[in-house]
Amino acid sequence: MSFHTLIEALAGAVIEAQDSIEMHQISHLRDFFDEDNRPRSVTIRMPSLHPQAEEGDEDLYRAPLLPLVSTNNLRIREVEISFNADLAELGPEDLDVPAPGAPDAWETPRPAARHVGLDTGRGKGVGNVHVQLRVEGTEPTDGAARLMNHLAQSQGVFKTIKAT
C-alpha cells in the first residue's frame, strides 16, 4: 500500500464519519414531525390566566416538541490516528497521473513520481492502529434556528375549558 493511498483512505474515512453523524442528526429531526410533516407537540392543561376566567377554568396550551428539547449538533473537531508501519519498496513511477489542480486534470500528466510503500502489519495479527476522534457540540444552523424560533412562536393557548 502506498503512503498516499493510506492518507486518502484515512481522510475518506473521516469524511464518511462526519457524513454519518449528519445523517443521524437529520433522521433524528424527523422524530419531531408526524407522517404529514406537522410538528409533534404536547398539550398542557394550565389554570387559565385570562382576565375573565373563573375559578377552575383551564387553558389548553400547545407546544411543539422541537424547541422544547436541546438538539445535539455534533461535528468532528479533531482526529488523531497513530499506527506502526514499516517502509516497503519504492513503488513504480506514475507517468499518467494528472497534476493536482490542473484545469483539465485528467489530461495533464505531472512529472514522474515514485511511491513509498508501507507495510502496516496487516497479516501479523497485531492491532497496531489507534484512532481517537474528538467531537464538539455546535450551534444550530441558521435554518434550524429559524425553524425552532418559528415553532416556538406558534405555541400558546388554543382553547379555554370552563369549569363545571
Please, are residues 132 and 10 in contact by the beta-carbon 8 Å criterion?
no
Residue-level pLDDT at 73: 87
Domain boundaries, the chain: 3-161
Comparing CA positions, the residue from 159, 158, 157, 155 lying closest to residue 40 is: 155
Q: Read off the pLDDT of residues 95-123 as tens digits, 9 standing for 90 and up.
A: 555 556 666 655 555 555 666 666 666 55
Q: Is the pLDDT of residue 39 over 90?
A: yes
